[in-house]
Amino acid sequence: MAHVKVFDTTLRDGEQSPGVNLNKLEKLEIAKQLEKLGVDIMEAGFPASSQNEFESVQEIARTVKNSSVTGLARAKKSDIDTAWEALKDASEPRLHVFLATSPIHMTHKLKKTPDEVIETAVEMVEYARERFPQVEWSAEDACRSDKDFLVRIIEKVIEAGATVVNLPDTVGYTTPYEYGELFRYVKENVPNIDRVSLSCHCHDDLGMAVANSLAAIENGATQIEGTINGIGERAGNASIEEVAVALQIRNNFYEHSTNLVLNEIKRTSDLVSKFTGMVVPGNKAIVGKNAFAHESGIHQDGMMKNASTYEIITPEMVGIGASNMVLGKHSGRHAFEDKVKSLGYELSEEKLKEAFKAFKSLTDRKKDVTDEDLFTILTDVQTDSSDAAKYKLEAFQVQYSSANIPTATVAMTTPEYTRVETAGTGQGSVEAIYNTLEALIHEDIHLEDYRLSSVGEGRDALAEVHVRLTVNGTAASGRGAAQDVLEASANAFLNAVNRVILNQQLLNKQSAPV
Ligand SMILES: [Zn+2]
C-alpha cells in the first residue's frame, strides 16, 4: 500500500477563518495534539505576518519533535529570513513559499510576465534552500493556470532545490476529474517530478475539497494538505479527518494509507472547535454529533442485529465514546490526577492545582462531572495566561424581572491591578452585563456575535458562550464556560477583550524579529 503524507494547515489556513484568532497557548495546545494525531507536517503559521505569529511559530517549532514544522512565506527574501528565524530550532525546519501562476494573478496581482514569475520562483527557492533542508513551493491558483506553463515552472523550481511541489486549488474552483487530470499531466510531463513530493491543497467553495484531494491521490499526489474540521478561509479547506478515514475505509479502492492515529481524531476535532469557536455541524462526516446516530426504526433494528448493516465506520475507530467514567463530589485529588492523565493532559503542578480547584467548585453544584466537563475545565486552565495583566471579573449581580429594566452591578480588576465597580442597564440580562463591562473598560467595543451552548447533557450541564466582538476596530473572539449562563457570558466577553489587550501589550513591548 502506498503512503500519503499529511500536511496539516489548521494553524495557518484554518486560522484565517473569518473571526478566528487563537492565542499562543491555544496554538501550542493544538500543535501538540496534531503531533499526537500523527500529522507528518504541520504549518504553524505565517511568521512574517506579525510579531505574535512569529513567536507562536517559534514556540511550536521548539516544542514539536515528531512532526516537521513549517511556516509560510511570500516570495520575498525578508519573509524567508523571518521564517528561518522562527523555524531554525525545529527538528526538521521546512519552508512553504508560494507564488501565483495563473494569468489572472500574474497580470493583475503580481504585474509580472510569466518569465519573470519563473525567475522569481527559482531565485526564492534557491535562497530558501541555503538554509532550509525542506522547501515546499506552491503554485498559487494552480487550477486556473496554463498547464504547460505549470510544467515549465515546476521543472525549474525542482532544479532550484524544491523538495515538495504543491498545486493548490486556491479558489475552490476545480472538479475531481479536472484536478486528477492536472496531477496526471504534471506527473507525465515534468521530467524531474519524481525527485519531489507532489502535494494537493483544496478549498471547499463548491463542496468538493475532499473529493478533489482523493482524486489527486488517485493520480499521483503523495501529500495531502488540509485542516481539522475543514476550517479555513471562506468555505474552508479539505477536512483532513474525512480524507484519512476515506482512505482507511476504502483502502481496497484507494490503496493508500496515512500515518494518522485515527482514534485521536475526535479529541483533535473537539479542541479545534473549542478554541476557534467554530462549531462542528451535527451532520458533518466523521466528527459530527449525529455521524453515528441511527434514527430510523429499520436502521436501529439492523444495527441491533449486526452493527455493520448500517455502520461503515465504528465510533471507536475515530475516538468517539471511549471511557466516560464520571467523577463526583467524593473524588479525591488522586482520582482526579489519574483522570487528567488518562485524558492526555500534561499540566504543571501549579496548573494542576488550579484545575483541581475548578473541578471541586464544579462538584459543589453538579453531581456528575463528565469527560466533557473536564475537557472544558482543563483546556481553559491550560490556555489561561494567568500571569499576564488583564481584566478580571471579581463579582457581579444581575437584577431581572419581566416588569423592570434589567440592571447589572459588576466589580473587576483592570490590567493595572485596580479594582473598579459600576452598575448599568440593558434590554436583557446579558446586555446589562455587557453594557456595564464596557463602561468599566473604556474601549470602543462592538458585539458581533453571541452563541450559547451546553457542554454535554442534563439540566446541570456547564454553559459555554462564544462571542465575537471588535475592540477599537480589532476583531476578537472569546469563550467562557461556567455553570451559570450569565457568568459564562461575562467570562466570554472579557476573554475576547483580553486577547486584544494582551496583543497590544506584546506589540508595544517588542520590535520586529529581524
Ligand atoms: Zn489554502
Strands 197-202 and 223-226: parallel
Distance 343 CA to ligand 1 centre (A): 32
Among the listed residues 289, 362, 275, the one whose alpha carbon sits nearest the alpha carbon of residue 321: 289
Give the DSSP letter of residue 330.
T
Distance 458 CA to ligand 1 centre (A): 39
Cβ-Cβ contacts under 8 Å for 115 (sequence gap 6 or more): none
Distance 7 CA to ligand 1 centre (A): 12
How does 245-280 read in b/e, with b if 16+ C-beta sit within 10 Å? bbbbeeeeebebebebebebbbbbbbbbbbbbbbeb
Q: Exposed (0-12), middle (13-18) or buried (19+): which is 431, by Cβ within 10 Å?
A: middle
Distance 234 CA to ligand 1 centre (A): 10
Distance 226 CA to ligand 1 centre (A): 8
Distance 248 CA to ligand 1 centre (A): 24
Amino acid 505: pLDDT: 60
What the block records as the C-alpha cell of 382 is 491550560
Amino acid 513: pLDDT: 36
Distance 221 CA to ligand 1 centre (A): 17
Rg (C-alpha) for the chain, rounded Å, is 25
Which residues line ion ligand 1, judged by CB < 5 Å? 13
- Asked whether 69 and 59 are in contact (CB, 8 A), the reply is no
Cβ-Cβ contacts under 8 Å for 354 (sequence gap 6 or more): 381, 384, 386
Distance 237 CA to ligand 1 centre (A): 7
Strands 392-399 and 407-413: antiparallel
Distance 396 CA to ligand 1 centre (A): 44
Distance 140 CA to ligand 1 centre (A): 9
What the block records as the C-alpha cell of 360 is 471541586
Distance 133 CA to ligand 1 centre (A): 23
Amino acid 514: pLDDT: 32
Distance 46 CA to ligand 1 centre (A): 12
Amino acid 323: pLDDT: 57
Distance 9 CA to ligand 1 centre (A): 8
Give the Å distances, CA to CA, from 347 to 71, 170, 264: 27, 39, 19
Backbone dihedral angles phi then psi of residue 237, each to the nearest 5 degrees? -105, 175
Amino acid at 402: S
Amino acid 324: pLDDT: 61
Distance of CA 61 to the CA centre of its chain: 16
Distance 208 CA to ligand 1 centre (A): 14
Sign of torsion over alpha carbons 220, 255, 134, 111: positive
Distance 401 CA to ligand 1 centre (A): 50
Distance 165 CA to ligand 1 centre (A): 14
What the block records as the C-alpha cell of 24 is 499562543
Angle at 203 between CA 202 and CA 208, to 5 degrees: 85
Distance 13 CA to ligand 1 centre (A): 5
Distance 225 CA to ligand 1 centre (A): 9
What the block records as the C-alpha cell of 94 is 521546512
Distance 227 CA to ligand 1 centre (A): 10
CA distance 401 to 388: 38
Half-sphere CA count of 147, side-chain side, radius 13 A: 13
Distance 238 CA to ligand 1 centre (A): 9
H or E stretch covering 438: helix 429-441
SS3 content of the chain, % helix, strand, coil (to 5): 45, 20, 35
Among the listed residues 19, 74, 23, the one whose alpha carbon sits nearest the alpha carbon of residue 49: 74
Distance 264 CA to ligand 1 centre (A): 24
**In residues, how long is the chain?**
514
Amino acid at 233: E
Distance 233 CA to ligand 1 centre (A): 7
Amino acid 512: pLDDT: 35
How does 85-115 read in b/e, with b if 16+ C-beta sit within 10 Å? bbbeebebbbbbbbbbbbeebbeeebebebe
What the block records as the C-alpha cell of 333 is 485529588
Distance 336 CA to ligand 1 centre (A): 41
Amino acid 448: pLDDT: 94
CA distance 184 to 122: 23
Distance 239 CA to ligand 1 centre (A): 12
- pLDDT means per 10 residues, the chain with 514 residues, are 96 88 92 97 96 95 97 97 98 96 94 96 98 97 96 98 97 97 98 98 98 98 98 95 98 97 95 92 91 76 77 89 74 89 87 92 86 88 78 95 95 93 96 96 93 87 93 89 95 92 60 35
Half-sphere CA count of 65, side-chain side, radius 13 A: 0
Distance 439 CA to ligand 1 centre (A): 40
Distance 385 CA to ligand 1 centre (A): 30
Distance 355 CA to ligand 1 centre (A): 37
Distance 235 CA to ligand 1 centre (A): 11
Distance 172 CA to ligand 1 centre (A): 9
Give the Å distances, CA to CA, from 254 to 2, 207, 228: 9, 21, 21
CA distance 497 to 514: 29
CA distance 372 to 368: 11
Distance 202 CA to ligand 1 centre (A): 7
